[in-house]
């Protein structure tokens, strides 16, 4: 990367936790258009998983990932070990107020601090011109925009579109946890959030639209709903009246699997 920079070539970084799917490859292709060289990182970051979450069983498919990256024309893959990223004596934390406290932040304590910590480390290791993150983790994307600005990290942050299955389920490495029956139920999450989006677009009350989506998700067979909320896309403040910039966010649990999704209003 140092040699690329010396030669005046621009660099894009796409951080991932591996288990790559078409959604990741879309980000790689976007990176390809944005910079002369593309670097992807693969690191299942222990700091962003809470106790009882799926860190141990998170799919690790490194050989297949590296092959996919090569066929997507990615020039370099960086797959550090936990020891390299968190050496003996590591004691630093990164915390983001407000944006990190709502939505997933309210249900996964410490998750965004752990995510921010590793993204800061990856950005400072690669010093890319641009870094690309998927909009499925829309809150994560907004948090990354916030802390890179706050910490004067000289990088352009770009969001990539959500890729979906033919029936609308957002692609996620965690979809592979679903049984065939759960997979049939799972599509209710994007369907219900999209219905809420349509209701708010048509001038409906955001709180009523959220409540209706929550009911539909539970009625379809999800075990619980962490949240369905309609929030401002930049500040993530709750939107209480129609006609404002908004995004519908949802997270729900099906068996041991937690799925998230969102739609722009
Ligand atoms: O979105 C992810 O896959 C992860 O949160 C990220 C950004 C790679 C940090 O570990």
* Domain CATH number, residue 119: 3.40.50.620
Pick left, alpha or beta for residue 95 (phi over 0 → left; psi -120 to 50 → alpha; otherwise beta). Answer: beta
Average confidence (pLDDT) over 230-235? 98
pLDDT of residue 2: 84
Q: What is the pLDDT of residues 141-174, one digit of tens each?
A: 999 999 999 999 999 999 999 999 999 999 999 9
pLDDT of residue 97: 96
* Ligand 1 contact via 260 beta carbon (within 6 Å): no
* Ligand 1 contact via 17 beta carbon (within 6 Å): yes
Query: In this structure, what CATH number is given to the domain that contains residue 194?
Result: 3.30.1300.10
The verdict on whether 95 is a catalytic residue reads no
Task: Ligand 1, residue 137: give the atom nearest the CA.
Answer: 1
| Domain identity same for 207 and 152 | no
| Domain identity same for 103 and 190 | no
* Ligand 1 contact via 135 beta carbon (within 6 Å): no
Q: Tell me the residue range of the domain where 122 lies.
A: 2-160
Position 166 in a domain: no
pLDDT band for position 191 (cuts 50, 70, 90): very high
| Domain identity same for 187 and 146 | no
| Domain identity same for 101 and 230 | no
Task: Ligand 1, residue 48: give the atom nearest the CA.
Answer: 10
* Ligand 1 contact via 15 beta carbon (within 6 Å): yes
| Domain identity same for 252 and 189 | yes
| Domain identity same for 43 and 152 | yes
* Ligand 1 contact via 159 beta carbon (within 6 Å): no
Position 167 in a domain: no
Give the whole-number percent of the chain exceeding pLDDT 70.
100
Ligand 1 centroid from CA 15, angstroms: 6
* Ligand 1 contact via 118 beta carbon (within 6 Å): yes
Average confidence (pLDDT) over 176-202? 98
- Whether the pLDDT of residue 55 is over 90: the answer is yes
The C-alpha atoms of residue 82 and residue 113 are separated, in whole angstroms, by 17
CB 16 within 8 A of CB 24: yes
- Whether the pLDDT of residue 112 is over 90: the answer is yes
pLDDT of residue 146: 98
Instruction: Name beta bridge partners: 39.
Output: 13, 76
| Domain identity same for 20 and 115 | yes
The C-alpha atoms of residue 247 and residue 173 are separated, in whole angstroms, by 23
Ligand 1 centroid from CA 198, angstroms: 30
Position 114 in a domain: yes
Cβ of 240: how many Cβ atoms within 10 Å? 10
Position 86 in a domain: yes
Helices (H) and strands (E) in the chain, counts: 10, 8
Which residue in 21, 24, 95, 111 is the catalytic one? 24
How many separate domains does the chain show? Answer: 2
| Domain identity same for 131 and 81 | yes
Position 58 in a domain: yes
| Domain identity same for 97 and 46 | yes
pLDDT band for position 1 (cuts 50, 70, 90): confident
Pocket test for ligand 1, best of 15, 20, 142 (most atoms within 8 A of CB): 15
| Domain identity same for 101 and 208 | no
| Domain identity same for 55 and 155 | yes
* Ligand 1 contact via 137 beta carbon (within 6 Å): yes
Average confidence (pLDDT) over 25-47? 98
Last residue of a domain, one of 160, 188, 208: 160
Last residue of a domain, one of 119, 134, 160: 160
Task: Ligand 1, residue 15: give the atom nearest the CA.
Answer: 8
Last residue of a domain, one of 160, 184, 213: 160
| Domain identity same for 223 and 151 | no
pLDDT of residue 183: 98
- Summary mean pLDDT of the chain: 97
Position 46 in a domain: yes
Give the whole-number percent of the chain exceeding pLDDT 90.
98
> Which residue, judged by its Cα, is nearest atom 9 of ligand 1?
115
Position 165 in a domain: no
Pocket test for ligand 1, best of 124, 137, 260 (most atoms within 8 A of CB): 137
Position 168 in a domain: no
Among 95, 113, 136, CA closest to 49: 113
Average confidence (pLDDT) over 16-42? 98
């Amino acid at each position: 990367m140092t040699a690329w920079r010396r030669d005046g070539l621009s660099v894009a970084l796409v951080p991932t936790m591996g288990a790559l799917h078409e959604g990741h490859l879309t980000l790689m292709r976007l990176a390809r258009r944005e910079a002369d060289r593309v670097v992807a990182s693969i690191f299942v970051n222990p700091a962003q998983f809470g106790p009882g979450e799926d860190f141990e069983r998170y799919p690790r498919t490194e050989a297949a990932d590296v092959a996919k990256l090569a066929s997507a024309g990615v020039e370099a893959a960086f797959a550090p070990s936990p020891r390299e990223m968190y050496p003996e004596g590591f004691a630093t934390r990164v915390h983001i107020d407000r944006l990190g406290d709502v939505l997933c932040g309210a249900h996964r304590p410490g998750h965004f601090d752990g995510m921010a910590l590793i993204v800061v480390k990856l950005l400072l290791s690669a010093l890319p011109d641009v870094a690309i993150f998927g909009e499925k983790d829309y809150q994560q994307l907004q948090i990354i925009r916030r802390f890179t600005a706050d910490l004067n990290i000289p990088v352009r942050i770009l969001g990539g579109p959500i890729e979906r299955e033919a029936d609308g389920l957002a692609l996620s490495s965690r979809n592979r946890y679903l049984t065939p029956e759960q997979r049939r139920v799972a599509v209710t999450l994007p369907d219900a959030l999209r219905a809420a989006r349509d209701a708010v677009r048509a001038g409906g009350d955001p709180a009523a639209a959220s409540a209706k989506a929550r009911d539909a998700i539970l009625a379809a067979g999800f075990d619980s709903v962490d949240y369905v909320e309609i929030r401002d896309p930049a500040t993530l403040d709750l939107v209480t009246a129609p006609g404002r910039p908004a995004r519908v966010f949802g997270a729900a649990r099906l068996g041991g699997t937690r799925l998230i999704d969102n739609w722009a209003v």
